[in-house]
Amino acid sequence: MKDLVVIATSSGREDWVKEMLSSISRPVVVVSDFGYELGKIKWVFENTNCDRFLFLQDSLVIRDESLFDQVFEAQGSSCIMDIPTCLGSYMGVYERSVLSKIEIPVIHTKEESIYHEIAWTQKYIELCENFSHPISIVHKELETVRKFGRENLLYVNQYYEKWKGDWGIPVSNYETIVNPVALQRVNLQMLEKSRVIQGLTSENEHLKRTSELVNSLEGGIAFVNNELATKNAEIIALKGSTVWKLFRPYRRFLEVVGLKR
């Protein structure tokens, strides 16, 4: 097995993983428990033979599945989220060859996991020969969007929605919520509009490619028509030439001989 998609979850998060799986059409491996994210990464390393794997949290919704092709076409390891730092939320492509060179610590608390989200991932990156950012990871941020019974800081880009419950670092420009119900309703409306725009953008890209194909076919047809017109003009000119007229008796002779055969 060369490349693998891994989804990290835990008990009590069935709604999260169900929604995420509904947004993916390709085979994945779901790993539950084993001690926060690093415990799951260690489990994949020790219990599979894949060369690389894309590690995702279950609080993700995939918006554009071309993400998978792009990250696996890139060489080596890669990052798909840079908040709070590169390999934020531990999300990215990990290599077996690099994991074999680094200790994967046993995590006991959420605080430890947040600490190593920066400390351990930076050590991992330093050991990589090839490390890249194969997709654009510029996000829009929506604050305090409630989902599955908790408040979330929501990051949205072309490829995914990341619902972050533990923000890990202070939220920049955060303001006290005056009317949380109204703010939640506005944020959800913004998210829905974002999803509609994403769908329309995809449809527009499809129509654009179709239009380009039609234009290409029309160009080919026009070329063939021009060639036919040129050949017809040459035939008409040939039939009007003196040589054609002089050989008319010979052509008739060949026709008669052909009929007799």
* pLDDT per position as a tens digit, 91-147: 999 999 999 999 999 998 888 998 999 999 999 999 999 999 998 888 887 766 778
Q: What pTM did the predictor assign?
A: 0.65
Chain CA centroid to CA 79, Å: 13
Query: Would you say 150 and 143 are in contact if contact means Cβ atoms under 8 Å apart?
Result: no
| Spatial separation of the C-alpha atoms in residues 22 and 43, rounded to whole Å | 24
Lowest mean pLDDT among 10-14, 129-133, 158-162, 205-209: 205-209
On the question of pLDDT at 30 being above 90, the answer is: yes
- Tokens representing residue 22 in the block: 């509904």
Nearest Cα neighbor of 91 from 39, 154, 37, 19 is 37
Checking DSSP bridges between strand 60-62 and strand 131-132, what pairing results, if any? unpaired
- Tokens representing residue 225 in the block: 């028509």
The pLDDT value given to residue 171: 38
- Tokens representing residue 40 in the block: 């799951």
CATH code reported for the domain at 3-175: 3.90.550
Query: Would you say 53 and 6 are in contact if contact means Cβ atoms under 8 Å apart?
Result: yes
Q: Angle, nearest 10°, between helix axes 36-47 and 110-127?
A: 50
- Within the chain, where are the H helices? 14-22, 36-47, 66-73, 96-99, 110-127, 180-239, 242-246, 248-260
Checking DSSP bridges between strand 29-32 and strand 3-9, what pairing results, if any? parallel
Residue-by-residue DSSP string for 157-224: -SSEEEEESS--SPPTT----S-HHHHHHHHHHHHHHHHHHHHHHHHHHHHHHHHHHHHHHHHHHHHH
Lowest mean pLDDT among 112-116, 176-180, 185-189, 254-258: 176-180
- Tokens representing residue 206 in the block: 């499809």
Nearest Cα neighbor of 87 from 121, 51, 135, 59 is 121
- Tokens representing residue 259 in the block: 């009929």
Q: Which amino acid is it at 171?
A: V
Rounded mean pLDDT of 233-238?
76
Q: Which amino acid is it at 137?
A: I
Q: Which amino acid is it at 221?
A: I
| Spatial separation of the C-alpha atoms in residues 163 and 139, rounded to whole Å | 12
Q: Which amino acid is it at 79?
A: C
Question: Where in the chain are the domains?
Answer: 3-175, 177-261
- Tokens representing residue 39 in the block: 């415990």
Q: What is the largest CA-CA distance in the chain?
A: 104
> Phi and psi for 48 in degrees, rounded to 5?
-130, 170
